[in-house]
Amino acid sequence: MNMSTNIYQPVSALALLQRFAKDPATRREFLAECRERIRVLDPQLQAMTAVLDAAEIVVEAETARGSLSGLPVVVKDIFDTYDLPTAYGSKIYEGHRPASDSAVVTQLRRAGALVLGKTVTCEFAYMTPTLTRNPAAPDRTAGGSSAGSAAAVAAGYTPFAIGSQTGGSTIRPASYCGVAGYKPTFGLIPTVGMKCFSWSFDTVGLFAAGVGDVAYLAQSLSGLQLEIAALARRPVIGVPESYPWTQPTANANRALQRAVDAAEQAGAEIRSVRFPPWMSELIDVHHVIQSYESYRTLGFEYDGHRGQLSPMLCRFLEDASKVTIEEYLTACDLTEATKADLARWFEGVDVLLTPSAPDEAPLGFESTGDPAFNRNWTLLGAPCVSVPGLRGDGGAPMGVQVIGRRFDDAHVLRVAAFIESALTGVRVNRSKVDF
């Protein structure tokens, strides 16, 4: 395997499917390439926790059928897998072998995907940094909590990875690692068999090289028609004037403006939108709900194995124990009222476009970054896509986040593909539309 040039390179699943269709035997060859890539690169990147034995998966590669026929996928280590250990990023569960697969892994297998291995997660998908390195910016964090999943795709280990998002754990690492990340509408892909952190927010997240690839994976898992098709009309993109919860850096604003300019030049209509000031309160609402629920979902670990938890998670759960049922119910009430009003925010626009994160990935490995640009949309259950194709002043990747109405995932993905095409010059739609 020649990796002398650009050793970290994402692989397009759609291109692979064309290759497999011409010669099914290449599925086995590509699987060997993936395993070799992991063997050579992962001692440095540390994105994987386990890889399936070659003998076990080769038979599957030769007999796989379905929409994901023969495509390898890696899965965040908070999802149960019967044939691979599942430790949830915790010493408490070291060597744990579930008796069954999680629902999303079952869906992968039904579609003919090859579950190649498990990826590193922050402890119980919270924010304690991992050892995973960022293939696109080795001196910067890969983000979290789906650090291993984003890094595995960015390094070309596999074309697909499964992650999750409770705050910003898919969109943020996708932005940092320069790949596409998709957080579907809440509930679109089942979370049964996933280690729960917050039952109101936990969402399966998907990673791939580009938007077209991630849309194809989402379609295979959800049953919805999500594969990228041409837009029927000029997209109307709303760009916020400001952000009540935090401000992006000048670096992030410049990157966002490049995306806006590219989209406008490609035919999009850009409209300025203004968020109500009370949107800043939603950050606290998210915190209250997440805290109340995680103190209960991790009750066994906190009460019986506290010494094996990281100091960061212990402090969070200690504070979480003080959230009252009255505070929780008030926060839930406000969330439901805001969800009911969400469609009004999209009057006159198809999607919103924001930075995926406040800046490039932070230098060093003491933090997984700030999810401030993601929490509100997770709270509201809205679909979000981090579109790759930009770099910041420091040379590291930066994504832009496309946000849409709940259950409007197909249109959100299509507009995201439109923006990606405008940024990269690579046409991703199946047919050209002249606006």
Q: What is the pLDDT of residues 278-336, one digit of tens each?
A: 889 999 999 999 999 999 999 999 999 999 999 999 999 999 999 999 999 999 999 99
pLDDT at 409 over 50: yes
pLDDT at 58 over 80: no
pLDDT at 31: 92
pLDDT class of 4 with cuts at 50, 70, 90:
very low
pLDDT at 123 over 80: yes
Question: What is the Cα–Cα distance from 234 to 252, expressed in whole angstroms?
Answer: 26
Give the position of tokens 């599957």: 60
DSSP assignment, residue 322?
T
Pairing of strands 384-391, 269-273: unpaired
Pick the residue with more confidence: 56 or 242? Answer: 242
Question: What is the Cα–Cα distance from 379 to 351, expressed in whole angstroms?
Answer: 17
Sequence-separated (6 or more) residues with CB below 8 Å from residue 162: 73, 74, 75, 76, 79, 104, 105, 108, 149, 204, 205, 206, 207
- Rg of the chain over Cα atoms, rounded to whole angstroms, equals 20
Alpha helices, DSSP H only, in 73-195? 103-110, 147-154, 171-177
Query: Residue 165 pairs with which residues in a beta bridge?
Result: 203
How far, CA to CA in Å, does 373 sit from each of 48, 169, 280, 423? 27, 11, 11, 21
Question: What SS3 class is residue 23?
Answer: coil
Phi, psi angles (nearest 5°) of residue 195 = -60, 115
pLDDT at 427: 62
Q: For residue 304, how many other CB atoms are within 10 A of its CB?
A: 10
pLDDT at 89: 98
Question: What is the Cα–Cα distance from 158 to 30, expressed in whole angstroms?
Answer: 9
pLDDT class of 6 with cuts at 50, 70, 90:
low
Which CATH number is 13-222 given? Answer: 3.90.1300.10
pTM check: above 0.85: yes
Length of the chain: 435
* Mean pLDDT computed over 100-128: 97
pLDDT at 433 over 50: no
Q: How far is CA 53 from the centre of its chain?
A: 26
pLDDT at 277 over 90: no
Question: What SS3 class is residue 76?
Answer: strand
How does pLDDT run across 378-405, given as a tens digit for each residue? Answer: 999 999 999 999 999 999 999 999 999 9
pLDDT at 428: 54
H or E element that contains 31: helix 26-45
* Mean pLDDT computed over 68-79: 96
What is the number of H-type helices and E-type strands within the chain?
Answer: 14, 11
Domain ranges of the chain: 13-222
pLDDT at 179 over 70: yes
pLDDT at 342: 87
* Mean pLDDT computed over 151-158: 98
Question: What SS3 class is residue 24?
Answer: coil
Closest CA to 184 of 198, 163, 199: 163
How does pLDDT run across 234-254, given as a tens digit for each residue? Answer: 999 999 999 998 889 999 999
* Mean pLDDT computed over 85-105: 98
Highest mean pLDDT: which of 50-64, 166-180, 420-434? Answer: 166-180
Closest CA to 149 of 125, 128, 167: 125
**How is residue 57 written in tokens?**
């998966």
Q: For residue 110, how many other CB atoms are within 10 A of its CB?
A: 14
Q: Is the CA virtual torsion 194, 197, 202, 204 positive or negative?
A: negative
Name all contacts of 257-262 with Cβ < 8 Å and 24+ positions apart.
258/390, 258/423, 259/353, 259/387, 259/389, 259/390, 259/400, 259/419, 259/422, 259/423, 260/353, 262/419, 262/422, 262/423
Between helices 211-222 and 13-22, what is the axis angle to 10°? 70
DSSP assignment, residue 377?
H
How does pLDDT run across 200-243, given as a tens digit for each residue? Answer: 999 999 999 999 999 999 999 999 999 999 899 999 999 999 99
pLDDT class of 432 with cuts at 50, 70, 90:
very low
pLDDT class of 156 with cuts at 50, 70, 90:
very high
Report whether 352 contacts 367 (CB < 8 A): no
Span between the terminal Cα atoms of the chain, in Å? 45
pLDDT at 343: 85
DSSP assignment, residue 347?
T
Q: Apex CA 69: angle with CA 65 and CA 71, to 5°?
A: 150
Q: Is the peptide bond before 169 cis (omega within 30 degrees of 0)?
A: no
pLDDT at 76 over 60: yes
pLDDT at 82: 96
Pairing of strands 351-355, 236-240: parallel
H or E element that contains 352: strand 351-355
